[in-house]
């Protein structure tokens, strides 16, 4: 990470794409460092797009009983909000490091916009994804009349001294069987899905391009290509 003068950055958000699979512990270290730099006004806000090797994370509200298979994948306790979730190849993780003091210190609005980011991304691929009261994340109703829904996008954020980190996880084409070792986000009665499972054969690169355009519209911020 290179510290730079942001006085002429025109309020652009650094858009950083990580190639390959990023180890989770290393990602947390880098996020924390970037969040500190943003807080000190040494770096602009950033969106960091990554994929992780298969793993589970346990948020601050995680219930030990929801970890169904402790041996399936490594488990990382993390300071983000939420319960257990899965990360792995084929899932686009978007870490958003943003100074919320520049957004009226409104955490609720920030989370709403993260949700909207995924909803509009899914809509671009003709997938109807929705918020649900009492259930964190973004959900797709099944078409079988069962009334059940499947999660396509997860949210887990942390805010420290008004700078956010962690973010979203959007299922493009992960191995959905990998979710079987947990009760995702503590919701046992519904399932998980992905664009591919819904018949959308989009590449990660295609999804990234849509996510970037949607992000700029939802957050009303331009993005600038950068490394993380």
Q: Which residues participate in catalysis according to the annotation?
A: 185
Q: Which two tokens stand for residue 94?
A: 């978007």
Asked if 115 and 186 touch (Cβ cutoff 8 Å), the reply is no
Report phi then psi at 137, rounded to 5.
110, -170
Grouping H, G, I as helix, E, B as strand and the rest as coil, residue 128 is: coil
3-state helix, strand, coil in the chain (%, to 5): 30, 30, 40
The total of other beta-carbon atoms located within 10 Å of residue 157's CB is 20
Cβ contacts of residue 126 below 8 Å, gap of 6+?
200
At 166, list the tokens.
């962690």
* Under 8 Å between Cβ of 90 and 130: no
Instruction: Give CA angle at 219 (7, 86), nearest 5°.
Output: 110
Nearest to 157 by CA among 131, 136, 188: 136
Residue whose entry in the numeric block shows the structure tokens 């390959």: 20
């Amino acid at each position: 990470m290179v510290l730079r003068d942001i006085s002429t950055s025109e309020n652009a958000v650094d858009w950083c794409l990580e190639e390959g699979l990023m180890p989770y512990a290393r990602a947390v270290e880098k996020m924390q460092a970037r969040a500190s730099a943003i807080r000190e006004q040494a770096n602009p806000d950033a969106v960091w797009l990554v994929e992780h090797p298969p793993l589970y994370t346990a948020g601050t509200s995680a219930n030990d009983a929801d970890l169904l298979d402790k041996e399936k994948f490594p488990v990382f306790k993390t300071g983000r909000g939420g319960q257990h979730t899965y990360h792995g190849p084929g899932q686009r993780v978007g870490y958003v490091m943003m100074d919320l003091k520049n957004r009226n210190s409104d955490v609720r609005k920030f989370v709403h916009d993260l949700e909207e980011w995924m909803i509009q991304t899914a809509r671009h691929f003709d997938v109807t994804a929705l918020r649900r009261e009492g259930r964190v994340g973004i959900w797709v109703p099944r078409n079988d009349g069962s009334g059940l829904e499947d999660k396509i996008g997860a949210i887990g954020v942390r805010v420290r001294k008004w700078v956010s980190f962690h973010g979203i996880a959007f299922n493009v084409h992960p191995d959905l069987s990998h979710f079987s070792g947990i009760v995702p986000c503590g919701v046992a009665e519904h399932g998980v899905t992905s664009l591919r499972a819904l018949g959308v054969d989009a590449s990660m690169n295609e999804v990234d391009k849509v996510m970037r355009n949607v992000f700029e519209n939802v957050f009303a911020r331009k993005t600038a290509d950068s490394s993380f």
